């Protein structure tokens, strides 16, 4: 049965609307590209993230449920040997309440954050991750702390094992953090042992690259990579990760290395937003230099 659809509007009106919307879209793109972080469209984006924060929190709950479901499917499809192992493991854990286990894990993460805070003499505020990016093209997380807690754009954010990203927008009670693994991120960095400087960038494949290293820079897998503080976008001397492999590219004037990431978005639950850092904890491997370098974040 073919339905005889009636026209809901004239073809002319639709064509006019189409042209108007195309012009409006292009105009917004140009304005967005030219305006600064304080521009109207950037502010609208930040405000909208605040509006959708409760939904994102619901999304985090769904994520947790999805992971549990995946675990259940894995258990169902496991072979006998694995099942026996799981039963034994389950017997060991049967007297423990799941809630206590959760608290223990949370306690561990917070303890690591506190250790990190003491190590670097960090001034900052702890925050929970309440949402994750709903778009494949960006790697961001939403935190439950905002302007009311002193969080401002540009502040460095640290996970349990080092820098994970930077605050890019805030609302009174939430903030959005661009992770280091986002292709649009970029942090001035240096190799701790040789002081070779470069830029740490994310990529679409999810790897973290240390780019722009001098071609004669002596770097090896396992070398520690720290923020250099150049440009003032990240506090100086904070741990980013370690070099995993060196990407030798013939015909390039600079070298590139793959750095281990601290910012697996799905794993982050609590983070520390850094107001200021006193980076004396990681002395130079070669020189034993332990100069104290205090860096205030740009406001």
Partner 1 sequence: MTNERRTLIVIMGALLSVILQIVLAPAITVFSTQPNFMLAYVLTVSIVCPHQADPVLPFVLGLLYDLMGTGPVGAMALLFTLASFGASRVFIVVENDTLFMSLAILAGMLFGVEMCYGLILMLMQLPVSLADVFLYRALPCALYDCVVGLIIMVIMMHVLTGSKQDREMHISQL
Of the candidate residues 144, 183, 224, 270, the single one contacting partner 1 (CB under 8 A): 183
Task: Supply 246's token pair.
Answer: 């060196």
Using CA atoms, how far residue 210 sits from 29, 115, 227, 250, in Å, is 30, 26, 11, 17
Of the candidate residues 96, 134, 293, 294, the single one contacting partner 1 (CB under 8 A): 134
Q: What sign has the CA pseudo-torsion 281, 286, 291, 294?
A: negative
- For partner 1, give the closer residue by CB, 218 or 264: 264
Alpha-carbon 139 to chain mean position: 6
**DSSP β-ladder status, 162-170 and 197-201:** unpaired
For the window 153-172, what string marks contact with partner 1 as x by the rule CB under 8 A?
---------------xx---
Of the candidate residues 122, 127, 139, 262, the single one contacting partner 1 (CB under 8 A): 139
End-to-end CA gap in the chain:
65
Task: Name the H helices within the chain.
Answer: 11-34, 40-51, 53-76, 80-93, 98-119
Work out how close the CB of 168 gets to partner 1 at its nearest, in angstroms, rounded to a whole number. 7
139, 176 in Cβ contact below 8 A?
no
Q: Which of 45, 117, 43 is nearest to 279 (CA)?
A: 117
Site for partner 1 in 82-121 (CB under 8 A): none
Of the candidate residues 5, 36, 81, 251, the single one contacting partner 1 (CB under 8 A): 5
3 binds partner 1 (CB under 8 A): yes
- For partner 1, give the closer residue by CB, 178 or 236: 178
Q: Which stretch binds partner 1 (CB under 8 A): 150-158, 181-189, 239-247, 271-279?
A: 181-189
137 binds partner 1 (CB under 8 A): yes
256, 213 in Cβ contact below 8 A?
yes
Question: Which residues are at the interface with partner 1 (CB under 8 A)?
Answer: 1-9, 11, 14, 17-18, 21-22, 24-29, 31-33, 41, 44-45, 48-49, 52, 55-56, 58-60, 62-63, 65-66, 131-140, 168-169, 176, 178, 182-184, 186, 201, 203-206, 266
């Amino acid at each position: 049965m073919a339905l005889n659809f009636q026209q809901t509007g004239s073809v002319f009106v639709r064509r006019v609307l189409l042209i108007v919307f195309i012009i409006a879209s292009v105009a917004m793109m140009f304005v967005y590209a030219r305006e600064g972080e304080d521009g109207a469209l950037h502010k609208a984006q930040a405000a909208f993230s605040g509006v959708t924060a409760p939904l994102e929190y619901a999304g985090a709950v769904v994520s947790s449920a999805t992971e549990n479901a995946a675990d259940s499917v894995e258990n169902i499809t496991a072979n006998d040997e694995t099942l026996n192992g799981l039963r034994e493991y389950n017997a060991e854990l049967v007297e423990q309440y799941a809630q206590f286990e959760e608290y223990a894990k949370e306690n561990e993460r917070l303890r690591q954050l506190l250790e990190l805070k003491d190590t670097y003499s960090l001034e900052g505020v702890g925050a929970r991750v309440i949402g994750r990016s709903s778009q494949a093209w960006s790697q961001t997380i939403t935190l439950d702390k905002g302007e009311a807690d002193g969080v401002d754009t540009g502040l460095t954010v640290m996970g349990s094992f080092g820098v994970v990203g930077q605050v890019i927008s805030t609302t009174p009670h939430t903030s959005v953090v661009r992770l280091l693994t986002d292709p649009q991120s970029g942090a001035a960095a240096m190799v701790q042992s040789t002081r070779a400087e470069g830029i740490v960038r994310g990529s679409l494949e999810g790897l973290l690259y240390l780019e722009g290293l001098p071609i004669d820079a002596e770097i090896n897998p396992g070398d520690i990579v720290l923020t250099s503080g150049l440009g003032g976008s990240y506090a100086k001397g904070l741990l980013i990760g370690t070099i995993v492999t060196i990407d030798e590219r013939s015909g390039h004037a600079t070298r590139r290395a793959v750095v281990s990431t601290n910012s697996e978005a799905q794993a982050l639950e609590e983070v520390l937003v850094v107001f200021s850092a006193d980076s004396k904890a990681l002395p130079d491997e070669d020189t034993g230099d332990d100069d104290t370098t205090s860096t205030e974040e740009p406001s």
